[in-house]
Chains A and B, each alone.
Chain A
């Protein structure tokens, strides 16, 4: 098994390399000029040129890439064009809010969607099943920010239950931390719930059609046990798979959610960095996200072994 993990880990390297090349070339071959932005309103062409040289932007692209890649391998993601801070430090500062939001979202989504999906599969064809399918399609269809505004309007402004925006560090108190995170997590989890519920329903449905379910029921096992211990357990692989793939959607949703709720996380950092043409930060953050996505999916692949004894590597 360890050989498998090692092999998979190694196979992530070419993927990350491809990501690095894509991101790097994307940024360097575009017309936006960070030097002009940093120089500000009243600057002239000469000042801008000096800034460009200072940032190393006047060297041939291949050389810039090589230098940058060399540093990345050593763990140095470079320094932001704007702030006198390393990209690694910037990411570290913004990590907590995004991680917290993602964790709460996934937790909520799984806790809500799996039971819903199981129930829908159990009562296949019934009103609950149809309602769930309808809801899940709607969950895909409403844009995240529209949902966010609706929730803010209803819960924060009309009912006054929760704060409108912002993020509180967990170190500053657990209650404010949760209070500020609930609405964003709900907003983000809707699309995730829709996705996971569908997959849960489909795979539990498939499992319920298998012989061993009939056997279990014939044995007289309580239905709950049949559902959870037999059907759900056997349906676990696709469910966990989709949670992993959904991370990409999560990251995407995080960008918009952080914008509306003013959460200083990685999503916002990326948008701000893109608008400011802060190349090192953009590259660093995209690399980071890709790494996360790749690692999460690796974890999921590995988890198959525990979830389904039939899978051997």
Chain B
């Protein structure tokens, strides 16, 4: 009798859970969520959190075109120095307050203090104002070719729109209030760091009418609740959980998991981001041996893309070499200048190295041990460089150590580095302004600190150019120069399809991890 009762209760619980489950989307994100301010940090987890909770003025669709999102109409004056925008009706924050031009201006200002592209934009901006509650204007000192691209950039840092009181937080402090105007509401009282993050459907959200594409289009929500499982970090356990239906989505499975995922019934692989990511290894221009451009050329010649992609990704359908430092199949993805890497071989690399006067200084490569997506790249780099004749010192550390160590400008022997490798999502590198690795401002540049006045000049011209053909030509010149001075080694592109239960549909095609438009059809 007792057993029967227990059985009945379990069955009843299971049934109610089944019904309830249809409205809860259980996601396993690619990493832990520990910072909730997407302006303060460029971490992709914070950006993804931002996409749940906030909305943006413009978005970028799957064809890399900028489309309006919160903005209804906009215009630029004939001299391109005055941009006026009108917001869509019905935009309101989660606390009921309507979104006004003042909120927008405060948000743009804060973002413009942190984001590289935003900072560049702000050098053009004279002032901004909000003539009416649903309007705002940007006054420029001189024409700027990337206003909309900046406001609609899909990846870190995204100019999310926050309430004015929140956006007024100084840019070097994290915000504490997570009210936004996006399609989901952050359920703060259920947030347990390292355990889970919970988002509820925002019933007051008014989506646009267009079909969703990238970060543009209508952000329709079909589930009541989204739970991010932050506790499940072990890759094998993630696969097991998905196979058993204990979770619904694995955001970015490890490449080794795909074999098992392909065979799991009820699991589908969805390639929702065909532009994918690009790998790169970055040289430290401040210290030997990579302070010598000839040595950098030799290294570039020694590092063809195929071995890296095969070792790290391994699955042929998921990777492709790409000779461009911007993303292939995007407006600026040309192969100009890439011959030093793509048309080379090991013999040539060995000759280049001998001719460069390399004196045997060991190359310190930092290898992260806890990031499955990139942890094999340094081993491949070490092997290839050794074959070319370099002395290599491969040091393993966790990703956090890599991040803190790459910021150090000291010589490698005193806590510095020579090489590290990483991956970027396409929007973060697809034009010369967004791409942090292509810059020549020395100590002000991204880690690696290359110095090249010519490169900087070309980038400035690009920022000012407004005509597309001119921009393309400049981008090619910039890339050629970058290869010439050896800013970094682009290592090819890959996709990381998500794995989801077959009954989860509605995936939006485009970069970033997007959870609107997703439907869960009964288990």
B126 at the interface (CB under 8 A from A): no
B310 at the interface (CB under 8 A from A): no
B240→A45 contact, CB < 8 A: no
B244 at the interface (CB under 8 A from A): yes
In the complex, what distance in Å separates the CA atom of A54 from the CA atom of B34?
18
In the complex, what distance in Å separates the CA atom of A48 from the CA atom of B114?
12
B42→A42 contact, CB < 8 A: yes
A224 at the interface (CB under 8 A from B): no
Given A83-B34, A165-B232, does the pair A268, B240 have CB atoms closer than 8 Å? no
Segment of B168-176, B387-395, B477-485, B496-504 in the binding face: B168-176
A279 — which chain B residues lie within 8 A by C-beta?
none
Given A31-B405, A38-B35, A42-B42, does the pair A54, B116 have CB atoms closer than 8 Å? no
B40 — which chain A residues lie within 8 A by C-beta?
40
Segment of B192-200, B319-327, B349-357, B462-470 in the binding face: B192-200
In the complex, what distance in Å separates the CA atom of A163 from the CA atom of B46?
30
B237→A165 contact, CB < 8 A: yes
A82 at the interface (CB under 8 A from B): yes
With an 8 Å Cβ cutoff, the count of chain B residues facing the other chain is 56
In the complex, what distance in Å separates the CA atom of A262 from the CA atom of B195?
9
A263 at the interface (CB under 8 A from B): yes
Smallest beta-carbon distance A20→chain B, Å:
24
Please classify the interface of chain A as helix (H, G, I), strand (E, B), loop, or mixed, using the class held by over half of its residues.
helix
Smallest beta-carbon distance A311→chain B, Å:
43
B409 — which chain A residues lie within 8 A by C-beta?
45
B67 at the interface (CB under 8 A from A): no
Q: Which of A93, A163, A167, A268 contacts B244 (CB under 8 A)?
A: A163
Smallest beta-carbon distance B372→chain A, Å:
14
- Interface residues in B310-361 by Cβ distance below 8 A to A read none
- Interface residues in B2-18 by Cβ distance below 8 A to A read 6, 9-10, 13
Instruction: Give A75-96 as 1s and 0s: 1 = Cβ < 8 Å from B's Cβ atoms.
Output: 0000010111100001001100
B436 at the interface (CB under 8 A from A): yes
- Interface residues in B371-429 by Cβ distance below 8 A to A read 398-401, 403-405, 407, 409, 415, 422
Please report B residues at the A interface, Cβ cutoff 8 Å.
6, 9-10, 13, 32, 34-36, 40-43, 46, 114-116, 156-157, 172-174, 176, 192-196, 229-234, 236-237, 240-241, 243-244, 246, 370, 398-401, 403-405, 407, 409, 415, 422, 436, 443-444, 446
Name 13 extra pairs, CB < 8 A, besides A40-B41, A93-B192.
A31-B405, A35-B404, A41-B422, A43-B42, A54-B173, A84-B36, A85-B193, A94-B195, A166-B241, A166-B246, A262-B231, A263-B231, A272-B32
Please report A residues at the B interface, Cβ cutoff 8 Å.
31-45, 47-48, 50-51, 54, 80, 82-85, 90, 93-94, 149, 152, 156-157, 160, 163-167, 173, 175-176, 259-264, 268-269, 272, 275-277
